[in-house]
Amino acid sequence: MTHERTSNRAGILFPALFVWALAVSSAAASPLVIAHRGASGYLPEHTLAAKAMAHAMGADYLEQDVVLTRDGEPIVLHDVYLEATTDVEQRFPDRARADGRFYAIDFTLAEVRQLSVHERTTSGEAGASAVYPRRFPVQSGTFTVPTLEEEIRFIAGMDRSRGTHTGLYIELKAPRLHQAAGHDMPRAILDVLERTGYADRKDQVFLQCFDDQTLRALREDYKTPLPLIQLIGENDWGEDSAVDYDYLRSEAGLDYIASYAQGIGPWLMQIYRGRDESGAAITSDLVARAQARGLAVHPYTFRADQLPEGFSDFDSLLALFLDELKVDGLFTDFPDLARRFIDGH
């Protein structure tokens, strides 16, 4: 399916979904706290421990980035590579590809279960170092990579014991890479949702992706009733998609998104553009233009230990996006701080 720059509105193609999206985007009085990879500001990302902490902190949704193993099992991992957050280089030193990376899709689930998960690191001449030095110690703890099904059942168990109704926010990572390897990623994820009873929970599951064609296939070919979120990156990031992200932020691009999705997930710096000479925040009109089309807006990523230039504290950043721009929700590594800010209003 080729990318078509259509101007059809969601209200024409999918009227019921348009009404649902409009209701979501109008609920700005209660913006969603989306735990980015769990409470990843405090515990290694995408571990069940990080999800349990985010759940206890009152996050509305817990994010699951999903890739597939060689035998087709959906696992919760942000990267298509394993070395940044696991000890794969020590466990399987001879399994890197020619580019030096250890691809999750080259490993079976049984092999992935042998890995230990640690805080995110980056490699340099001096060896691996923590991306966020003040977070959980890299060499501490015993954590593993969960399957998507294990994580969903874990969250459902916490919902039962705590009397809550926490949502899933699932990202399909690099679907074209998986397709090239012979895997049907959307089908694999939808099958897990079916087995766990979440396939029809429109009020409890979002599906997100950087690739527009994957989202269109989920709606048009797989017929999922679940709300879809078009992630918007930058064209130079090298995301696994042929879509033009500059176009997606245009008037015609937002019309196009509204024909198949219920919201957008933009990078926060596509909304906040810095400060003017007087020190006032410069912002784009992306939020207002998207919401005018019934699209919910859930920007990423809000980190108390990585503030954009021009902010001295986390609450000021939250105030701009939640109080002034009135986004419908946000992804944060610190769900407790966002929850406290929202509940304090």
Angstrom distance (rounded) from CA 39 to CA 62: 9
Q: Which residues contact 163 (CB under 8 A, 6 or more apart)?
A: none
- Cβ atoms of 133 and 161 closer than 8 Å: no
Burial of 307 (0-12, 13-18, 19+ CB in 10 A): middle
The closest alpha carbon to 67, from 143, 168, 181, belongs to: 181
Angstrom distance (rounded) from CA 272 to CA 56: 30
For the question of residue 46 being annotated catalytic, the response is no
For the question of residue 36 being annotated catalytic, the response is yes
Structure tokens at 270: 């596509």
CA torsion sign, 60 to 195 to 51 to 35? negative
**Which among 3, 46, 55, 78 is annotated as catalytic?**
78
- Cβ atoms of 299 and 271 closer than 8 Å: yes
Residue 118 sits at φ, ψ, to 5 deg, of -135, 175
**Which among 36, 46, 55, 183 is annotated as catalytic?**
36
Structure tokens at 259: 């024909």
Angstrom distance (rounded) from CA 287 to CA 278: 23
- Kindly list the catalytic residues: 36, 78
